[in-house]
Amino acid sequence: MLASNPDHFYAVIPAGGAGSRLWPLSRAGRPKFLRDIAGTGATLLRSTWDRLVPLTGEDHIMVVTGDAHANEVRAQLPELGEHNIVLESEGRDSTVAIGLAAAILERRHPGAVVGSFAADHLISAGGRFRRAVREAVRAADEGHIVTIGIQPIAPSTAFGYIRAGEPLEIHGAPSARLVDEFVEKPNEGTARRYVASGEYLWNAGMFIAKTQRLLDELAENAPELAAGINEIADAWDTPERADVVSRVWPGLEKIAIDYTVAEPAAKKGALAVIPGFFGWDDVGDFASVSRVHQAANVCDHEVQVIGERERVVSTGATGIVISETERVVAVAGVNNIIVVDTEDALLVTDRANAQRVKEIVNLLKESAHPEVL
């Protein structure tokens, strides 16, 4: 049972977000998910697709992305059918992205289970990932809203955590447990306690549920937004799509699905979690890129290099150099440095300050050179 793929399961890939903490690699016009940001040889979007296809087949994956990225998405995923692309004129956060996909799928395939998987996360050990997803689909079949929480490998302060509760004892989903609560990014001491306790998992933002179950939960917690989403979904596969979208879209609330579905469900004991024992990273900043790259064991030099290694020289330095240019990059005597060298923009920071790249992006918006964003 666990080994076969459930044929009522559909994956949704919300492919949005500028990844501003990854500037200048990630740009408004070519964001993080369209880039091979971790130097694996494939873009994050393509890797996500390749990871899901063995679970769902090519026709059961829907991609939600911005108009501006449509052509690049089509180019990276030539197997993606046009009916499985949901284009947004303007980003409306994850409730709309996932909720609309679920509402469209519910109309096309009543009784479907939908799972959402970010386009810009990195996952290793795909077999374990798929095993966790199959368990999650089973738990969803039983009426649960389900998330996959990542077994932490370190007391990270960069991620939110999920406290796992009682085992649910679902046939075919033996590791499913209730979610007791979601907790925000902790400080380091708290993170250590969480990891030591064995009860906490990283919140990777993966949600799996029957489409109708998800929409019901949404209707309960955000009725206006749910109504708007359903109105668009009703028109989606009809000639009225464009009219309805242009009328309803501007009024849709921008809010993360964590607040409209996951956390309210957890509060009433309706959220299940499947612990995931695979490598996972949200590749949220350059410290994360460095971590991911290191984990991939690509580098045994003192300075990690993403790019042409022969053009990077270093002495007494540690950190990461990401090079997209033909230039020689030399690093001397600095530790945990992060150097990102692109044709029209250069970033220098270090691991401890990797999150401040967002401040740089904000400064650039007001600067004389917003064109590099």
Residues that bind its own copies (CB under 8 A): 23-24, 310-311, 313-316, 326-334, 337, 339, 341, 343-350, 352-353, 356-357, 359-360, 363-364, 367-369, 372
Taking the C-alpha atoms of residue 314 and residue 203, their distance in angstroms, rounded to an integer, is 37
Ramachandran category for residue 296: left, alpha or beta (phi over 0 → left; psi -120 to 50 → alpha): alpha
Report in angstroms how near the CB of residue 367 gets to its own copies at its nearest.
6
* CB-nearer residue toward its own copies: 50 or 326: 326
Report in angstroms how near the CB of residue 304 gets to its own copies at its nearest.
14
Contact predicate 59/81, CB 8 Å: yes
Ramachandran category for residue 66: left, alpha or beta (phi over 0 → left; psi -120 to 50 → alpha): beta
* CB-nearer residue toward its own copies: 94 or 349: 349
Report in angstroms how near the CB of residue 24 gets to its own copies at its nearest.
7
* CB-nearer residue toward its own copies: 150 or 340: 340
Ramachandran category for residue 44: left, alpha or beta (phi over 0 → left; psi -120 to 50 → alpha): alpha
* CB-nearer residue toward its own copies: 171 or 369: 369
Report in angstroms how near the CB of residue 16 gets to its own copies at its nearest.
24
Q: Closest Cα partner for 119 from 255, 14, 12?
A: 14
Report in angstroms how near the CB of residue 118 gets to its own copies at its nearest.
25
The Cα-based distances of 139 to 113, 170, 182, 264, 282 in angstroms read: 10, 7, 19, 18, 25
Residues near 326 by Cβ (< 8 Å), separated by ≥ 6? 311
* CB-nearer residue toward its own copies: 20 or 156: 20
